Amino acid sequence: MEHNKESMVKKVNLPLTEKTEQNLKAGDNLLLSGVLYVARDAAHKRMVEALDRGEPLPFDIEGQTLYYMGPSPSPPGRVIGSAGPTTSARLDGYTPRLLAAGLKAMIGKGVRSLEVREAMKKHKAVYLAAVGGAGALISQTIIKSEVVAYPELGPEAVLKLEVKDFPATVINDIHGGDLYVEGKAKYRK
C-alpha cells in the first residue's frame, strides 16, 4: 500500500492482503488497482443457490472483491459503458453466505443491514463505497472486462474486471469503523 500524502489517497492493490486490510480505516479514500468481480441481484441469487446445493461457486471467491454494478452498454471502441455502483442494500440478504464462503471486500453504495455489518465483523471483511452517479468517471478506470459466469443472465452476468486507480472510500473497516454512522454524527446539528 502506497500513501500519496498530497491528496491523502491510499493506493491499494486487489485482491486485498490481510496486511492491507488491517490498515484500512473508515473514511480513507482509496485508488484500487487489480481484479474485482461484478455481480448484482440475479447473479447473487444463483451463487447462493449453488452454495445451498453444496456446489462450488463459478469463480474462487476466497479473498476476492465484489462490485455491485450493472453497466450501460459499451459503445464501440470502449471496454465498458457507464459503470457506477448500485444500491448495496438489495444484496444484503445474500451477503452473509458469500462472506462465509470467503468474500473479503464489497464495493457499492448506501448503508448495509445490521446483519451484514455483523457478518463483516465475524469474517473480517470490508465494505467500500464508490460515488454513485459517477459511472462515466469510473468507466475510465476499467481496463478490461470479461464475462466469467452465468452469460445467460445478459447484463446481470458475473464480470471479471481489471481496474487501475478505481476510486473508492472505506465505509466499514475491520476495526468497527463505520463512515456512514460516524460521518453523520460528526456533522449533525
Contacts of 11 (CB under 8 A, 6+ apart): 1, 2, 3, 4, 30, 31, 33, 165
Q: Which three cell numbers stand for residue 145?
A: 472486462
Tell me: cis bond preceding 155? Omega within 30 of 0 counts.
no
Q: Which is nearer to other proteins, 16 or 138 (CB)?
A: 138
Contact between 96 and other proteins per CB under 8 A: no
H or E element in which residue 118 lies:
helix 114-123
Which x/- pattern over 2-21 shows residues binding other proteins (rule: CB under 8 A)?
Answer: --------------------
Mark 58-77 with x for binding to other proteins (rule: CB under 8 A) and - for no binding.
-----------xxxxxxx--
Q: Check binding of 109 to other proteins (CB under 8 A).
A: yes
Minimum CB separation of residue 159 from other proteins in Å reads 13
How many other C-beta atoms can be found within 10 angstroms of the C-beta atom of residue 163?
A: 24
User: Any contact of residue 169 with other proteins (CB under 8 A)?
Assistant: yes
Cβ proximity to other proteins, 73 vs 151, nearer residue:
73
Q: How many residues bind other proteins (CB under 8 A)?
A: 45
Q: Which residues of 39-75 are buried (b: 16+ CB within 10 A; e: fewer)?
A: bbbbbbbbbbeebeeeeebbeebebbbbbbbbbeeee
- Which residues ranging from 30 to 59 are in contact with other proteins (CB under 8 A)? none
Binding residues for other proteins, rule: CB under 8 A, are: 27, 29, 69-75, 78, 81-84, 86-87, 89, 109-111, 129, 131-140, 154-155, 167, 169, 179-180, 182-189
